[in-house]
Chains A and B, each alone.
Chain A
């Protein structure tokens, strides 16, 4: 599976990249929202794991840009956030085309289980 991980916390990206690689998946890292967006615009990923709270260009900004350009329809996105996610915010994100919203801290096994559904499958 080809995974893109966008998170400004490099300890988290390093850990998850290692985990996903050992489990046999390709995992690209972006430590800013903008660099993540550039990667999405130039490559195809089975799934993008996106952090919401990032400085300058947040996960919400990434989603807004992808939503406006319509590109979100062809890209599976799972958000991962450590903040309190109220039902309102979750439904706004889902309305914009986000597949699911997960909470940090997350067991890497649980995360992998969750994103396995996107392996070799295009967005419905």
Chain B
């Protein structure tokens, strides 16, 4: 049988092409397989790396988590302060404008209502500031500015500020600065904050008539001791121990007549200790209470 040479030639070419295609496909499959294997190895290696890394991280995991907790607390505080303080801006701003008749004349009844709104908004403002101080004390982030403090000037400022507040109340306000010329190193604003907390507490508890608040300082065994004394209802021995705890109120009943956040004394204790002092309380449990803040001279 005669077969055309050309036909054989063409058949050979077709065969060669088919074989080439098959070979290429096989090679592609092979490469893919190898790549998959390599990928697996790489992933395995990555996993091992990650595991080692995790183990390494775990060695100081406690430290890191403590740090993160600090950051989270910090961000939380910043966010809360921002969100609570922002609405107070227009509330207090409009109170001011209404009160000063900037938005038209108002009658005495309206003025009284506005003043009550303003007073309560300011109370919220003070509460937010107190909560932030407590958090800052917890996080060790409360900042202090240590400077020269003239005892004479310090007490005369308190005197003039509280004379205004106590004006019209039957309460004696006695100040004994011990030595007006004495100058000490401390944070003036923070020490004043402590005095404000203690004096405002005293004002709450002194009797309506014949109230007496005595403040001042004295020298005792190389220490300078500041004090705030009042003739209020006193604090019993067992309550004195818990007094400096956060949110502590002596009378926790719903009917309690004395307001306050219960943070003032915890903050005062924190501040006095950061300033290198000790705060303590002495009371007969009936008629008088004295708070002492002792600082080494």
Chain A positions within 8 Å of B, measured between CB atoms, are 9, 11-12, 14-16, 18-19, 22, 53, 81-84, 86-87, 104-109
Q: Bound state CA distance, A107 and B92, in angstroms?
A: 7
Pick 15 A–B contacts, CB within 8 A, sort by A.
Answer: A12-B93, A15-B94, A15-B97, A19-B93, A19-B96, A19-B102, A53-B82, A82-B81, A82-B83, A86-B141, A86-B143, A104-B85, A105-B91, A107-B93, A107-B96
Nearest 3 pairs between A and B by C-beta? A82-B85, A105-B88, A11-B90
Chain B residue at minimum C-beta to C-beta distance from A51: B86
Q: Bound state CA distance, A86 and B125, in angstroms?
A: 18
Residue pairs across A and B with CB atoms within 8 Å: the count is 63
* Shortest Cβ gap from A53 to chain B (Å): 6
Q: Bound state CA distance, A85 and B89, in angstroms?
A: 17
B89 touching A105 by the CB < 8 A rule? yes
A84 touching B89 by the CB < 8 A rule? no
Q: Which of A15, A83, A86, A87 contacts B93 (CB 8 A)?
A: A15
- Number of interface residues, chain B, beta carbon within 8 A: 24
A15 touching B90 by the CB < 8 A rule? yes
Contacts of A16 in B (CB 8 A): 93
Contacts of B78 in A (CB 8 A): 83-84
* Shortest Cβ gap from A115 to chain B (Å): 15
Q: Does B201 count as interface, using CB distance less than 8 angstroms?
A: no
Chain B residue at minimum C-beta to C-beta distance from A23: B102
Q: Bound state CA distance, A82 and B124, in angstroms?
A: 14
Contacts of A11 in B (CB 8 A): 89-90
Chain B residue at minimum C-beta to C-beta distance from A81: B82
Q: Which of A19, A83, A108 contacts B81 (CB 8 A)?
A: A83
| Interface SS of chain B | helix
* Shortest Cβ gap from B90 to chain A (Å): 4
A12 touching B89 by the CB < 8 A rule? yes
Chain B residue at minimum C-beta to C-beta distance from A8: B86
Q: Which of A22, A53, A105 contacts B92 (CB 8 A)?
A: A105
Q: Does B132 count as interface, using CB distance less than 8 angstroms?
A: yes
Q: Does B77 count as interface, using CB distance less than 8 angstroms?
A: yes
Interface string of B98-138 (1 = CB under 8 A from A): 00001100000000000000000000010000001000100
Chain B residue at minimum C-beta to C-beta distance from A80: B89
Q: Which of A9, A12, A53, A84 contacts B132 (CB 8 A)?
A: A84
* Shortest Cβ gap from A5 to chain B (Å): 12
A82 touching B102 by the CB < 8 A rule? no
Sample of 16 further A-B pairs with CB below 8 A, known A15-B93, A83-B79, A105-B89: A9-B90, A11-B89, A12-B89, A12-B93, A15-B94, A18-B97, A22-B97, A53-B82, A82-B81, A83-B81, A84-B132, A84-B136, A104-B86, A104-B89, A105-B88, A105-B91
Q: Bound state CA distance, A84 and B78, in angstroms?
A: 6
Contacts of A14 in B (CB 8 A): 90
Q: Bound state CA distance, A10 and B79, in angstroms?
A: 19
Contacts of B96 in A (CB 8 A): 19, 107-109
Within 48-101 of B, Cβ neighbours of A (below 8 Å) are at 77-79, 81-83, 85-86, 88-94, 96-97
Contacts of B103 in A (CB 8 A): 18
Q: Bound state CA distance, A62 and B87, in angstroms?
A: 23
* Shortest Cβ gap from A25 to chain B (Å): 13
